[in-house]
Amino acid sequence: MSPRKTILRELRRGLDRHGKAPSFTRPAEIAGFKNRPKEYQKAINQLLRSRLVEGRQDEAGRMTIALNAHRLRDVDRALRPVWIHPAMWAVLAIVLAVGAGLAI
């Protein structure tokens, strides 16, 4: 799984556990961050730029991130399975139409 989806999924799980208020998490606590820190940091920077997550400093001065409560619909859209994407349904419809045309 990509670092972007891993980060969003972990933050979404934290939101579900704690209710509606976003819970801030240190990026180093996200699974996979210690194995590939450069890739995860790049993904975090992209998520911050797209405003899907927000960043703050904790009491110790370290960066923490949480989902942007105003963009949860966009987060859910990014996390949906590939078979739910509208483009996938369009491709399936075209393949079925071509298949039905060849069968006739």
Over residues 86-99, the pLDDT tens digits come to 888 888 899 999 98
From CA 37, how far away is CA 20, in angstroms rounded? 29
Give the pLDDT confidence of 16-35 residue by residue, as tens digits: 666 666 788 999 999 899 99
Burial class (CB in 10 A: 0-12, 13-18, 19+), 72: middle
Least-confidence region, from 42-46, 59-63, 99-103: 99-103
User: How does pLDDT run across 67-91, given as a tens digit for each residue?
Assistant: 998 898 898 888 888 777 788 888 8
The CATH number for 33's domain is 1.10.10
Please say whether the beta carbons of 68 and 55 come within 8 A.
no
CA 103 to chain centre: 41
For residue 79, give its domain range: 3-103
- Bigger pLDDT: 36 or 21? 36
How many domains are there within the chain? Answer: 1
AA identity, residue 39: E
Assess whether pLDDT exceeds 80 at residue 6. Answer: yes
